[in-house]
Amino acid sequence: MITSRGCPFRCDFCSRPVFGNQFRSRSAANIVDEIETIIKLGYDRIWFADDCFTLNRKRLLGICNEIISRHVRIGWECLSRVDTIDGEVAQKMKQAGCIRTFFGIESGNNAVLTIMKKNATVEQARDAVNVAKQSRIQVGAFFIVGYPGETQGTVLDTVNFASSLPLDYLSFTMPYPIQGTPLYERVRDRMAVEEWEEPKNPRLIKHNLLFLSPLSEAKLRFANCKRNDPVLHQKILAIS
């Protein structure tokens, strides 16, 4: 389901500049009407595909309360931001059927988050994950390694930080410069290829580093590991 469109934030890498940042949403009653229709069709889980389902606190609580007041029973998942979750919100989400939420944390280093224009901090990310877990909501997180401006040290900060969180799902990826984004404009003179490859086996998606970087693709691939292992870190530093 899609219950809203648009995002007012200005993350450096996001497709928002391409699709627009005007936020518009449907009413809680309209959303739950559709949920009830979906249940009648035999489905037992919903993926809310909004850019950020939890963006507006009042709207989110309204949707949850509508689900609860109608005694609607269905599990659901959504995308979220670390600065939009608190204890009350997480508890209400769980009560309304939320099974899992995903945070685009992106980095474990505040300086890199500033470069990315995430408008969020590492501390907020840790708090958000813990709050969700305390409400018995599963948590997934997305991270980017090798962002322009990163160093070996900041990459390891991200690996260490991701490893320290009580996550149920973890994804590392390399920066993907989408045309029309600030990230693309910053690296367009260093682009090596224009598209990443997707092999026939969908479980083995190969995402290449598309632009020339001081950090080699081999090193970044080796860093895409969630173990907090000092020996592994030395290996990462040793890769040219």
Confidence of residue 228 (pLDDT cuts 50, 70, 90): very low
Mean pLDDT of the chain: 88
| Strands laid side by side in the 138-144 sheet | 45-48, 75-80, 98-106, 138-144, 169-173
**Does the pLDDT of residue 221 top 70, yes or no?**
yes
Region 125-129 average pLDDT? 98
Of 40-44, 56-60, 214-218, 223-227, minimum mean pLDDT range: 223-227
Q: Give the CATH number, domain containing residue 9.
A: 3.20.20.70
In the chain, the number of structural domains is: 1
pLDDT of residue 233: 47
pLDDT of residue 200: 63
pLDDT of residue 238: 45
Region 89-113 average pLDDT? 98
Confidence of residue 217 (pLDDT cuts 50, 70, 90): confident
Containing domain of residue 191, as a range? 4-238
Rounded to two decimals, what is the model's pTM?
0.87
For the stretch 175-211, pLDDT in tens is 999 888 999 999 999 988 777 666 666 555 567 788 8
Round to whole Å and give the CA distance between 108 and 93: 26
**Does the pLDDT of residue 105 top 90, yes or no?**
yes
Characterize the bridge pairing of strands 4-5 and 24-25: antiparallel
For the stretch 34-84, pLDDT in tens is 999 999 999 999 999 999 999 999 999 999 999 999 999 999 999 999 999
Confidence of residue 225 (pLDDT cuts 50, 70, 90): low
How many residues does this entry show for the chain? Answer: 240
For the stretch 145-170, pLDDT in tens is 999 999 999 999 999 999 999 999 99
